[in-house]
Chain A
Amino acid sequence: MTLEAFEGEVLRGTEWFGRDFAGQRVAVVAPGREAAQIVPEVAATARAVKVFQEEPAWVVPMPVPGPNVLGIAVARIFLRWQVKDPWIRRLLTPDHRFGSRRTAPGLGYYGALRRPKCQLVTWPVYAFVPHGIRTAEGIEHQADVVVLGAGSLFAKEGLPT
């Protein structure tokens, strides 16, 4: 069941930017580095947001000049300060061996995730169905709109040829 199976609207690239999502349930499917930019904007107007984070990223409040190690140190402090729940923090922390070493700016990301209407989902997405997304923990998450990050595993699926 590919992206075409989804009957709602699919937004790609920067189509989500400046959009009013009032009354809509939005699913953001993206790696963490993109979700960090998309989610605060979408959460400002949407009724509910589910963030299907494909891979966590080191998120910094603003670009940090200098070596990666400095940026990661800032990202760690930012994460600990913003996210008090240790399990959620674990889900937002990149793997120290195979994960990305790059940092991504996202001042409002963790703040948006803390909002009651916003939910972080890290289970693997395995199918799109007419009314939502199915993940490997066996649940169908319903949505009206899917925002697909450019770097998402599904970004190449269903593109016009």
Chain B
Amino acid sequence: MAYDFDALLRTIKDKQWSLADIDWDAPGAETMTGELRAKMRPFMADLVWIEHVGARGFASLAKKAPTPVIQEIYRYFHAEEQKHANAELALMKRWGMLDEHGSMPEPNINVKLAIKVLDDYGDTLPLTALATLIPLLECALDGALVKFLLEEVSDPVCHQMFRHINSDESRHITADFEVLELIGAGSATKLLTESVGSLKPQIVLGLIVVFVPLINKMRDNIVAMGLPEKKLYNAVKRFSTIGGRGEFTNRIPAYHVLKAQAAMIVDRSHVYHRLLADPMVKLTRLIPPRLLGKPQSWTEEITHEPVAS
């Protein structure tokens, strides 16, 4: 039976929440010790930026959505990822991790590269490629990072906020994989044409330079915090586990490519890490940010203020 995207859209609209629903001055901020604050600041900054970049990914997906209802769902997901970034920035402010102006922390070079690729190619990527990549990123980065955070921090405001975020994310994952089912059930010719269309050198190179080091860089950050990288790998495995449950997702070539990559990511002894991903982290560190030019103005839309006058 076809999935009811209309019902999902109604649920999304019913479950909206606002930063103003949270008491950002409630007790609990004192649980963030100086040592934990210093350790977590770069992690939180990356998390905020990944949500922000994820939001931009959904904006591109909305341009490719197969139906108007799915387009509206993506429009909400774009906003919700932005909300997660805003809320996490507000949490950083609560924990004293921002400067006196409350400015957004600088993104690392891998995030900057992701911004550049999304600005340049995001809207031209075929639906099959983008719709497969986004759930992998959501499983690997969003899901895993949020889990780490909840295990590390006991601040009740943080837990309250992530109850909302996790609820949103569960709907994102559901929609992501149901859209893959819808795409997979389409004509084989269309799937093949779109897949071949994804093989443009700039797209393949963009993914290798951006996506491969992005995950490994995040793994390095997690390890630096003293957390087991195994948890990140378990989150990546969710991508193939959930995708494997579908009836038609297996027909999408891009799904198989990214599933194979996910399998390499979770196998720490694989040459993928030694010969590609880890060297890419080091190489990208050498790229001068000014070469990437000025990002588009969506990168300035983030705010930690729950109320705008």
| Chain A interface (Cβ < 8 Å from any Cβ of B) | 25, 85-88, 90, 95, 98, 123-124, 126-127, 132, 134-142
B124 at the interface (CB under 8 A from A): no
Q: Which residues in B have their C-beta under 8 angstroms from that of A140?
A: 18-20, 306-308
B71:A138 contact, CB within 8 angstroms? no
B296 at the interface (CB under 8 A from A): yes
Q: Which residues in A have their C-beta under 8 angstroms from that of B19?
A: 138-140
Contact with B75, one of A88, A124, A127, A141 (Cβ below 8 angstroms): A124
Q: How far is the CB of B113 from chain A (nearest CB, A)?
A: 18
Q: Which residue of A lies closest to B309 (CB)?
A: A142
In the bound complex, how far is the Cα of B109 from the Cα of A89, in angstroms?
27
Contact with A along B82-120 (1 / 0, CB 8 A): 110011000000000000000000000000000000000
B33 at the interface (CB under 8 A from A): no
A137:B83 contact, CB within 8 angstroms? yes
Q: How far is the CB of A100 from chain B (nearest CB, A)?
A: 12
B297:A88 contact, CB within 8 angstroms? yes
B20:A136 contact, CB within 8 angstroms? no
B298 at the interface (CB under 8 A from A): yes
A139:B308 contact, CB within 8 angstroms? yes
A137:B16 contact, CB within 8 angstroms? no
A136:B16 contact, CB within 8 angstroms? yes
Interface size counted on chain B using CB atoms at 8 A: 28
Q: How far is the CB of A72 from chain B (nearest CB, A)?
A: 17
| Chain B interface (Cβ < 8 Å from any Cβ of A) | 13, 16-20, 63, 68, 71, 75-76, 79-80, 82-83, 86-87, 123, 296-298, 301, 303, 305-309
The 10 closest A-B pairs by CB, nearest first: A138-B83, A136-B79, A126-B16, A137-B82, A87-B296, A87-B297, A138-B19, A123-B79, A137-B79, A98-B68
13 contacting pairs across A/B (C-beta < 8 A): A90-B123, A95-B63, A95-B71, A98-B68, A123-B82, A135-B79, A136-B83, A137-B79, A137-B82, A138-B86, A139-B19, A141-B308, A142-B309
Contact with A138, one of B75, B87, B309 (Cβ below 8 angstroms): B87
Q: Which residue of B lies closest to A132 (CB)?
A: B307
Contact with B306, one of A95, A126, A136, A138 (Cβ below 8 angstroms): A138
A139:B71 contact, CB within 8 angstroms? no
Q: How far is the CB of A95 from chain B (nearest CB, A)?
A: 7
Q: A85-B297, A87-B296 are in contact. Are A138 and B82 (CB under 8 A)?
A: yes
B306:A139 contact, CB within 8 angstroms? yes
In the bound complex, how far is the Cα of B71 from the Cα of A42, in angstroms?
31
Q: How far is the CB of A105 from chain B (nearest CB, A)?
A: 26
A124:B309 contact, CB within 8 angstroms? no
A142:B80 contact, CB within 8 angstroms? no
Q: Which residues in A have their C-beta under 8 angstroms from that of B303?
A: 139
A139:B305 contact, CB within 8 angstroms? yes
Q: A139-B19, A139-B303 are in contact. Are A124 and B297 (CB under 8 A)?
A: no
Q: Which residues in B have their C-beta under 8 angstroms from that of A141?
A: 308
B296:A134 contact, CB within 8 angstroms? no
Contact with B18, one of A85, A134, A142 (Cβ below 8 angstroms): A134
In the bound complex, how far is the Cα of B295 from the Cα of A87, in angstroms?
10
A25:B79 contact, CB within 8 angstroms? no
Q: Which residue of B lies closest to A25 (CB)?
A: B309
Given contacts A132-B307, A139-B19, 14 further A-B contacts (CB under 8 A): A85-B297, A88-B297, A98-B71, A124-B75, A134-B16, A136-B79, A136-B80, A137-B79, A137-B80, A137-B86, A139-B303, A140-B18, A140-B306, A142-B307
